[in-house]
Amino acid sequence: MTVQAWTLLIVGLTFILYIGIAFWARAGSTKEFYVAGGGVPPIANGMATAADWMSAASFISMAGIISFAGYDGSVYLMGWTGGYVLLALLLAPYLRKFGKFTVPDFVGDRYYSNSARVVAVVCAIFVSFTYVAGQMRGVGVVFSRFLEVDINTGVFIGMGMVFFYAVLGGMKGITYTQVAQYVILIFAFMVPAIFISLMLTDQVIPQIGFGSTLSGEIGSQIADGKTLSLLTKLNQLHHELGFAAYTDGSKSMIDLFCITAALMVGTAGLPHVIVRFYTVPKVRDARVSAGWALLFIAILYTTAPAVAAFARTNLIYAVNEATYTPKQTTGANQDKAVPDWFKKWENTGLLAWVDKNNDGLIQYRQGPAFNGKPQFKAKDQRGSHGERLIENPLSANSNELYIDRDIMVLANPEIAKLPAWIIALVAAGALAAALSTAAGLLLVVSTAISHDLLKRTFRPNISEKNELLAARIAAAVAVVIAGYFGINPPGFVAQVVAFAFGLAASTFFPAIILGIFSKRANREGVVSGMLAGLVFTSAYIIYFKFMGGTAEQYWWGISPEGIGTLGMVLNFVVSLIITQFTPPPPSEVQALVESIRIPSGAGQASEH
């Protein structure tokens, strides 16, 4: 069977499974729609949390960005992993004890203000749509290659899937769908990693293979018969091609710190992750499910650096040992033909080559191949060596190859010549990762609108039936908007998601921390702080990413991916200063804060 046939089979079966689970677990009440009825077992909630957390950025783009950036890409690994530990240990039990459905619900009640609730809703929607853009982009990338359709068509297919089980099942349907999606995505990530680790290093455990000596038939071939570790060889390849050493960093220390910190505290402020701790019966179960989720997440996160190194090594070796059209070459290059996977990815517009010196060889070196992302002409318009022609003017750089970093994990099994079923399995895993997170984010948006705006703010007397209908309508509208952002993304997947974390860090995290640990924090201070953090962080990102700002203009060398850390500091400063000059919260709110912090490892949590 072909890769496309295997993909249709495996992806089709997983979609049938998701739809079946969504139908079986469809929500019949607002509590089931918002928090799955509060009765999800801890281990199942841990798996669902892991699937919700490990998005297309984790599955597709994190290893991809590490494979290109090397040491600099480790900020994503450290920030996201450390952030989940911070959330699980510092926030999850207290938020679960508060017993509300949503983060805006917590903010509104803790700060005794509908205005605070509305600001939190705006922040939740802003963060969620920024995040979901990366997920829909990931869906489009997968479909465009493995089903050989246009990226936009792939986004539309993903929209249809998310629409069905998010609108029908709500949190109950999404939770049990995410359990299945976790099993699929982790299996899909680990199987090719194990195969490639064996091929390159003779080690069955990828984490060990990552630091091992190249060996076996393929590994020894790449090492040219010498005794070299994988990372040593990768550094050599980088040096030969003009890239910075893979194990060295180029970012400033302050930028590395700020990006890592923004990702960490942004994790602790992500509304779609926080809401998962409301779906378990007791506060103790929230702690237990957080532990399970951390274990499930660690399996992928400790494997990602190995996958990145394997993919980078395989790509460089494959490209620099090949010509595009063997019929037009002679001598030593006659048998060096680029395999079918290259042309398949070229057709997606995510990989491109042009022969600048007309020697029939692909020169992959440091520097941009084109001025901007290539825009291909018709598929039948090719250069003298068979390369797809592009509309963008060529740069003068010696590099002839353009590679979108989001394809690295997906193309890795093909580059390594693994069986077609494994390639298709990776596609199914990537879709599971993207769709699980997209569904959780869209539920946050629909809940914020139907519960926090309608039920708790503008129409407190709305019936449960009408509230549930409003939630489903809001979810449907959110799917359409998410599809638009998937078709017109503001960056590659991990970069877009990093912006969402920065926004969460600069808005929700200070409000939640102060709400739990400071009885003196009041609505005036926190609302002002959230608005200051949101405006500052979003303005910085928009200016440098969409209005022509340059890296030389960065404040203290801090990139847009790390500016959420400064936004968080600004939020804290504004909140604390204004709090000191405004009245303290009512006594009942201060008593509520005190009760949240009482040790409560056992016993039933307060109900909404």
User: 369-379: per-residue pLDDT in tens?
Assistant: 776 666 666 66
What is the pTM for the complete model shown?
0.79
pLDDT of residue 525: 93
Residue 450: what are its φ and ψ, rounded to 5°?
A: -75, -40
pLDDT at res. 25: 63
One DSSP character per residue, 63-123 reads HHHHHHHGGGGHHHHHHHHHHHHHIIIIIHHHHHHHT-SSHHHHHHHHTT-HHHHHHHHHH
Residue 237 near residue 309, CB atoms below 8 Å: no
436-454 average pLDDT score: 76
DSSP string, 19-53: HHHHHHT---SHHHHHHGGG---HHHHHHHHHHHH
**Residues 260, 72: Cα–Cα separation, whole Å:** 11
Q: What percent of the chain is predicted at pLDDT more than 70?
A: 83
Q: Which of residues 286 and 172 earns the better pLDDT score?
A: 286
Phi first, then psi: give them for residue 418, nearest 5 degrees: -75, 165
Tokens encoding 376: 């291909």
Nearest-Å Rg of the Cα atoms of the chain is 25
Beta bridge partners of 394: 370
CA–CA gap between residue 136 and residue 436 (Å, rounded)? 11
Of the pLDDT bands very low, low, confident and very high (cuts 50, 70, 90), residue 569 is very high
Closest CA to 577 of 517, 534, 535, 514: 514
99 in Cβ contact with 35 (< 8 Å): no
The token duo for 233 is: 């060889």
Give 73-95 pLDDT, tens digit per residue: 888 888 878 887 787 777 777 77
pLDDT score recorded for residue 251: 80
Task: Indicate whether 324 pLDDT > 70.
Answer: no
209, 200 in Cβ contact below 8 A? yes
The angle, 0 to 180 degrees and rounded to 10, between the axes of the packed helices 408-415 and 420-447 is 170
Tens of pLDDT, residue by residue over 396-419, are 677 888 888 878 888 889 888 889
State the chain's mean pLDDT as an integer. 79
Give residue 555's Cα distance to chain centre: 26
> Per-residue confidence at 528, pLDDT binned at 50, 70, 90?
very high
